[in-house]
Chain A
């Protein structure tokens, strides 16, 4: 079983609210990632981190921020939620060089902004 956890599993929130999606892993992986995925669509990389105090923007990151204060924790924050943010958000981690088994994904947070 994957040792990467995302909370909440589902979230319905009003427009303009600030939200933080949590992601934690217990595998000691250095690299962590956030992806956004609409139903039936590809994964879009929005942020990634190579380790503590390292964060980089991906392809769709202009409206969210991340932090990496601890190895195991990589939260994603939306300062002001909009209906266009409605999507599934997937967190993943990997060993330093992608590792033998590549990426380990969490179960995702399905966000609905009304």
Chain B
């Protein structure tokens, strides 16, 4: 199927700490895997993607790791800030369905 599921529905971290959000996927046919951020009352927004032939990609304060052997993605956010509070989804670029997401709450 095309389902993408997340390991944890909620994550609470202290401001300044690093966050790690995990994701399992079942559809291996995607060329890219993408992380989205959805803030309250808004649509999901692209954060970072990773090609399926890579295992790591770094952005500004974010790093995505891909382990195709176990079909696992993770999003690492360095020095988490209150503005990072949101729901985070992952998906393959060929997926049309998304999992429930992980709600990240950053405590000041």
CB within 8 Å of B: which residues of A? 2, 33, 40-43, 45, 48, 58-59, 90, 92, 94, 97-108, 110
The 4 closest A-B pairs by CB, nearest first: A98-B93, A105-B43, A102-B34, A42-B100
How far apart are the CA atoms of A44 and B46 in the complex, in Å? 18
Residue contact B34 to A107, C-beta cutoff 8 Å: no
B45 touches A98 (CB 8 A): no
| A103–B101 CA distance with the chains assembled, in angstroms | 16
- Evaluate contact between B45 and A97: CB separation under 8 angstroms: no
**A–B complex contacts, Cβ < 8 Å, 22 sampled:** A2-B45, A42-B99, A42-B101, A43-B44, A43-B97, A59-B97, A90-B43, A90-B44, A94-B93, A97-B31, A97-B93, A98-B32, A98-B93, A99-B93, A102-B32, A102-B46, A103-B36, A105-B43, A105-B44, A105-B45, A107-B42, A110-B41
| Nearest chain A CB to B91 CB, angstrom units | 7
Least distance between A51 CB and chain B CB atoms (Å):
15
Q: How close is B28's CB to chain A, nearest CB, in angstroms?
A: 14
Interface of A, secondary structure class, is: loop
- Bound Cα distance from A2 to B103, whole angstroms: 23
Q: How far is the CA of A51 from the CA of B104 in the complex (A)?
A: 35
Query: Within 8 Å of chain A (Cβ to Cβ): is B94?
Result: yes
Is B67 engaged at the interface, CB distance under 8 Å to the other chain? no
CA distance A48 to B97 in the complex (A): 11
Report the Cα distance A20→B67, complex, angstroms: 43
B30 at the A/B interface (Cβ < 8 Å)? yes
Q: Is the CB of B96 within 8 A of A108?
A: no
